[in-house]
A and B are shown apart, each in its own frame.
Chain A
Amino acid sequence: MINFGFSISKPRTIDIDRNNLHKSNEIMHEMPELQTCIGCGTCTATCTAGNLTEFNFRKVHTLVRRGEYQGAYVEMNKCMLCGKCRLLCPRGINTRGVVMLIKRKLGDF
Chain B
Amino acid sequence: MTFFAKFCIPFIIGTVFLFAVVLIKYLTWLRDLPKSDLKLIIRGIPTPRTLAAVWEVVCESLLHRRIFRVNPMLGYMHMSLAFGWFLLIAVGWIETVAYLGLRWVPLQGHVFFKYFVPLNGITEHKPLFDFAMDALLLFVLSGVGLAWFKRMRSRALGMKRTTKHILFDRIALSALWCIFPVRLLAESITAAIYGGGSFLTGGIGSGLASIMSVNTLTLLYEPIWWLYSIALGTFFVAMPFSRYMHIFTEIPLIFLRHYRLKPEDKEKSYDNFEVEACSRCGICIDPCQLQLQLGINDVQSVYFLRDRRYNMLQQKIANNCLMCGRCEQTCPVGINLNTLRLNSRTSMRNIPNEGRYNYLRGLDRSQGEGQVGYFAGCMTLLTPNTMTSMQRIFEAAHEKVWWADKEGGVCCGRPLRLTGETDSAQKMVDYNKALFAKHNITTLVTSCPICLRVLRDEYNLEGIEVLHHSEYILRLMRQGRLRVRYSSELSFTYHDPCELGRGSGIYDEPRAVIEAIGQLLEPEHNRKNAFCCGSSVANTAINDAQQLTIAQHVAAELDSTGAETVVTACPQCKKAIVRGSKRQVMDLSEIVAQNLR
Contact = CB atoms under 8 A, between A and B. Distances in A.
B378 A78 contact: no
Contact of A96 (B359, B419, B424, B575): B419
A78 to B, nearest CB: 7
Contact of B411 (A48, A87, A93, A97): A48
A88 B410 contact: no
Nearest to B576: A87
A78 B357 contact: yes
A107 B357 CA distance: 17
A13 interface: no
Given A78-B357, A78-B359, A92-B543, A84 B349 contact: no
A33 B413 CA distance: 27
A9 interface: no
A77 B353 CA distance: 9
Contacts of A77: 353, 356, 424
10 contacts: A48-B411, A52-B408, A80-B357, A81-B419, A84-B379, A84-B382, A93-B544, A100-B349, A108-B351, A109-B348
A25 interface: no
A46 interface: yes
B415 A83 contact: yes
A61 B457 CA distance: 34
Contacts of A48: 378, 408-411
A54 to B, nearest CB: 9
Contacts, number: 85
A84 B410 CA distance: 12
Interface residues of B, number: 38
A43 to B, nearest CB: 13
Contacts of A91: 544
A93 B547 CA distance: 11
Contacts of B38: none
Given A52-B363, A92-B543, A108-B351, A80 B535 contact: no
A51 B413 CA distance: 16
A94 interface: yes
B359 A80 contact: no
Nearest to A31: B543
A85 to B, nearest CB: 10
Given A77-B356, A109-B349, A82 B378 contact: yes
A51 B359 CA distance: 11
Contacts of B42: none
4 smallest beta-carbon distances between A and B, as pairs = A92-B544, A80-B411, A82-B378, A82-B411
Contacts of A84: 378-379, 381-382
Contacts of B132: none
Interface of B: 315, 319, 348-349, 351, 353, 356-357, 359-360, 363, 378-379, 381-382, 408-411, 413, 415-416, 419, 421, 424, 428, 535, 537, 540-545, 547-548, 572, 575
Interface string A22-39: 000000000001000000
Contacts of A53: 359
Given A52-B360, A52-B410, A88-B382, A81 B416 contact: yes
A100 B353 CA distance: 16
Contact of A82 (B360, B415, B544): B415
Interface of A: 33, 46, 48-49, 51-53, 77-78, 80-84, 87-89, 91-94, 96-97, 100, 104, 107-109
Which of B349, B545, B572 counts the most chain A CB atoms within 10 A?
B349
A52 B411 CA distance: 11
B382 A87 contact: yes
Contacts of B543: 33, 92, 94
Contacts of A89: 544
Contacts of A104: 315
Contacts of A46: 382
A48 B357 CA distance: 12
Nearest to B536: A83
Given A80-B357, A82-B416, A100-B319, 14 more contacts: A48-B408, A52-B359, A52-B363, A77-B353, A78-B359, A80-B416, A82-B537, A83-B378, A84-B381, A92-B544, A92-B545, A92-B547, A96-B419, A108-B351
A87 B379 contact: yes
Nearest to B351: A109
Contacts of A107: 351
Given A46-B382, A53-B359, A94-B544, A80 B408 contact: no
A80 B349 CA distance: 14
B351 A94 contact: no
Nearest to A108: B351
A80 B356 contact: no
Contacts of A51: 408
A87 B535 contact: yes
A99 to B, nearest CB: 9
Contacts of A109: 348-349, 351
A89 B356 CA distance: 26
Nearest to B383: A87
Nearest to A79: B416
A80 B544 CA distance: 20
Contacts of A92: 543-545, 547-548
A18 to B, nearest CB: 31
A51 B363 CA distance: 12
A82 B428 CA distance: 11
B421 A81 contact: yes
A31 to B, nearest CB: 9
A49 B363 CA distance: 12
Nearest to B414: A82
Contacts of A87: 379, 382, 535, 572, 575
Contacts of B537: 81-83, 96
A91 to B, nearest CB: 8
